[in-house]
Chains A and B, each alone.
Chain A
Amino acid sequence: MKRTIPLAICLIMGVVMMIQFFIPHPISLEFNSTILNWIIVLFAFALVLAIGNLIRHHSIKIRKRKHDWPYSIVTLTSMAAMAIIGLFWGIEADSLFQRIYLNIFAPLSATMFALLAYYMASAAYRAFRARSLEATLLLAAAFIVMVGFMPFGQYISPRLPAFAEWIMRYPNMAAQRGIIIGVAFGAIATALKIILGIERSWLGGKE
């Protein structure tokens, strides 16, 4: 019963939502609107669950003094502080919440991300070698696109930006289109398997 009811709901809702897409009748549209509102509310509840899970996970970590547990204190304190500041002192443009976001959170996040540039430069130097025909083609394409898209690429050769754009518009687009279509077919197949109850891993547990 614990598995049959969710599977039945999934089948009915999957089929009904597919059919209603093609029926522009007011009842169908009203039904669609109600379901969409439910989904938005459900997602909000998922957020509450996520917060609960985060608190639980870090509380256990602190209680059991697990590896790097002091960072869990930072996580929980920061979360509580931001929630209290936002709830009681507002989230306007000149609020304390916004100042903390712009002056602490944003620079810290940007710094972490900026470190990638160093790793990428070092990795490109060490790993980007013309070892085979494929690697040489990749290297040549990357070289043309990088130089062509730089503002002064046009001064090296006026045709370089156009050639870089050609690489993006034709070879790149052909490959991307193939990937997109492949992914779309895969998504359709997976969706059908879930709706028809063939794919049941989303229910959790064993068969």
Chain B
Amino acid sequence: MKWYDRITQIDRRIIYLLLTLFIILPLFIPFKIPQNVMPQTQQLFDFVDSIPPGDEVVLLALDYTPQTAPECHPMAIALLKHCFARKVPVIGVSFDPQGPGLAVEAITSVIREVNENARTREDSVIYGTDCVYLGWKSGRVAALLQMGESVPQVFPVDYYGTPIDSLPLMLRVGNYKDVAIAINIASAAYPDDWIRYPQSRYGVKVGAGLTAVMAPKYYPFVQTGQLSGMMSGMKGAAEYEHLIVKHGYTDDSGTAETGMNSQSMIHILIIVFIVLGNIGYFFSRRGVKQ
């Protein structure tokens, strides 16, 4: 077998083994590659950073599933840290049935972390006053439209069954007029509905946190201003983590920056394999012609 035929027929077990090594090694040998922040991530960060503290709320729609959690969960964590550090109240909702489990985990872990480091009451986050999670609701499109008229009508109780008129934060949130931005972190095409209904009909600002494969579809919406910024994939999450550390909102960079190291190594490996495959293909085709 000629050398160029050999490099086009590498055993898949070797590919799998190398891939495993390239994923695991960066987790044990940590290194830091500076992030170059993409404009749409910077745009989303700047928008959240410009919301006056304690005034309007950030509506966080947490619609990602465990399958896409490595990409989307760090986005939710970074956004929550950013909002809490700036004293911007957060309301969480989910329209994907798999969403609440991870949403509860993200919200409680960030609240716990903030409160462990808090020195005064002002530094801490209190559930019901600074943050509320409303849980899951069926009939996504109808619920999105109805929330434009009245949020309490769609969510009369929060995720834990507490009537929302007993939660101080919800007393000052009637509909989208009280929302500075709705950010949908999603692993499916849910941002389409946020753009079509709350954004188009009620003029609410919409941001998005998406998996990398979904992001190309949403570039037109960023360009038209229908999306006020977006994070795409693990890179977007790592960029947002980098921005909140850079601006002094937290000392701890999250899991996406570490994940990006593994992802970058895999991308290099895939590129090397594609190049090898094409070199082999080129020479074998020349050999056939000769």
Contacts and interface: CB of A to CB of B under 8 A. Distances in A.
Interface of A: 29, 32-33, 36-37, 39-44, 46-47, 91-93, 98, 101-102, 105-107, 109-110, 112-113, 117-118, 120-122, 124-126, 128-131, 139, 143, 146-147, 149-154, 161, 165, 168-169, 172-173, 176-177, 180
B169 interface: no
B202 interface: no
Nearest to A46: B138
A116 B141 CA distance: 31
B47 interface: no
Given A33-B146, A40-B142, A173-B219, A130 B278 contact: yes
Interface in B1-35: 10, 12, 15-16, 19, 23, 33-35
B33 A151 contact: yes
Interface stretch (B52-60, B65-73, B77-85, B86-94): B65-73
Interface of B: 10, 12, 15-16, 19, 23, 33-36, 38-39, 65-70, 100-102, 104-105, 108, 137-139, 141-143, 145-146, 149-150, 153-154, 159-160, 215-217, 219-220, 223, 235, 238, 260, 264, 266-271, 273-274, 276-278, 281-282
Contacts, number: 152
B66 A109 contact: yes
22 contacts: A29-B149, A39-B142, A41-B139, A93-B104, A98-B101, A98-B104, A109-B65, A109-B66, A121-B16, A124-B270, A125-B10, A125-B273, A126-B277, A129-B278, A131-B281, A139-B274, A146-B267, A151-B35, A161-B36, A165-B39, A173-B223, A180-B217
Q: For the complex, would chain B's binding face be called helix, strand, loop or mixed by DSSP majority?
A: helix
Contacts of B12: 122
A125 B235 CA distance: 23
Q: For the complex, would chain A's binding face be called helix, strand, loop or mixed by DSSP majority?
A: helix
A42 B142 CA distance: 10
Contacts of A149: 38, 235
Nearest to A135: B278
Contacts of A112: 67
A106 to B, nearest CB: 4
Contacts of A161: 36, 38
Given A139-B274, A146-B267, A176-B219, A110 B137 contact: no
Given A41-B139, A43-B142, 9 more contacts: A32-B149, A40-B139, A40-B146, A46-B138, A92-B104, A106-B69, A109-B65, A151-B238, A180-B217
A42 B219 contact: no
Nearest to B33: A151
A197 B83 CA distance: 49
Given A122-B16, A151-B34, A36 B142 contact: yes
Q: Which 7 pairs of residues, A with B, have the shortest CB-CB distance?
A: A43-B139, A39-B142, A113-B67, A106-B66, A151-B33, A43-B138, A101-B101
A129 B15 contact: no
Given A93-B108, A98-B105, A105 B146 contact: no
A154 to B, nearest CB: 5
Contacts of B145: 32, 36
A147 B141 CA distance: 38
Nearest to B268: A150
Contacts of B268: 150
Contacts of B39: 165
B146 A37 contact: yes
